[in-house]
Amino acid sequence: QIKKLSFTERGKLCTNQMTKKLFGIMEEKKSNLVVSADFTQSQQILELVDKVGPHVCMVKTHIDIVEDFSQDFITKLLQMAQKHKFLLFEDRKYADIGNTVKLQYNNGIYHVSSWADIINAHCISGLGVLAALKQIGLEKNKGCLLVAEMSSTGNMITAEYTAATVKLAEENKDFVIGFICQNRLSDDPTLLHLTPGVQLKKGSDDLGQQYLTPEEVISKRGNDVIIVGRGITQSADVINTAIAYKQSAYNAYCQLLQ
């Protein structure tokens, strides 16, 4: 049986300010739900986050799928984040050599480092990717999640790769706040386990995505946070569906409290 500390207790143990902040939001809003706002029009994203904002601890973006990107959109997104008290996570999965990811994180048209609280990375290219992201993110008090496992069928991540990623996270807790994963990978209560590939019913899509239920992800597998995209965004009743996911993930976590 997996046992967990409360979000508040875990927050108290954190020296990383971003993790502390996130645990604070999770406790206050009783939410370990992240919504993945995978729309291509900025207005759709803003409408979605205004609806689900009160129920999520974080909104996940793929900024490079937005067709009408503008600085004004970012300004409005940041206003929403403040209004509803959630963090912004850009799911860019940086994976290149250090020098390139540094440019991708800081430059281009998106200037991700100027607005995203949290980003993520694949450490496939070695230590440089993390060192580079840290050079920019650390002084801005940003956080980074490492992709340690994936939800998609046939993904090529091996157990050795996952273990090496966990080690990197544990050694870089000034910047790394946890993992994107499918299973609980570390006993360290200050590292977060966030899991995508979640719907209320187990299943799959037609392009390799695999879904587990919130209960499976949180209470059986011991992860902390669910990341839900289409399960919420494609629902006819976005608000009540978000509430259903929030409650199911939160109740599942509460069952594990020591």
Q: Which of 30, 51, 76, 96 is catalytic?
A: 96
- Residue 93 is a catalytic residue: yes
Give the CA-trace dihedral at 70, 76, 81, 83, to 10 degrees: 180
Cβ at position 68, least distance to ligand 5BU in Å: 19
Cβ at position 228, least distance to ligand 5BU in Å: 5
* 251 CB-near residues (< 8 Å, 6+ apart): none
Note whether 33 and 246 are within 8 A (CB): yes
In the complex with ligand 5BU, which residue's Cβ is closer, 53 or 197? 197
In the complex with ligand 5BU, which residue's Cβ is closer, 113 or 151? 151
Cβ at position 147, least distance to ligand 5BU in Å: 5
| CA separation for the pair 203, 211 (Å, rounded) | 5
In the complex with ligand 5BU, which residue's Cβ is closer, 22 or 34? 34
In the complex with ligand 5BU, which residue's Cβ is closer, 63 or 252? 63
- Residue 188 is a catalytic residue: no
Residues at the annotated binding site for substrate? 38, 60, 151, 209, 229-230
Q: Are strands 203-204 and 210-211 parallel, antiparallel or unpaired?
A: antiparallel
Note whether 172 and 204 are within 8 A (CB): no
Cβ at position 217, least distance to ligand 5BU in Å: 12
- Residue 201 is a catalytic residue: no
Note whether 116 and 90 are within 8 A (CB): yes
In the complex with ligand 5BU, which residue's Cβ is closer, 11 or 196? 196
Angle at 32 between CA 199 and CA 34, to 5 degrees: 60
> Which tokens go with 238?
């976005």
Cβ at position 13, least distance to ligand 5BU in Å: 26
* 131 CB-near residues (< 8 Å, 6+ apart): 98
CB nearest ligand 5BU: which residue?
A: 229
**How far from chain centre, in Å, is Cα 126?**
22
Which residues are at the interface with ligand 5BU (CB under 6 A)? 36, 38, 62, 91, 147, 150-152, 180, 196-197, 209, 227-231
Q: Which of 4, 21, 29, 91 is catalytic?
A: 91
Residues at the annotated binding site? 38, 60, 151, 209, 229-230
Note whether 66 and 42 are within 8 A (CB): yes
Active site residues: 91, 93, 96
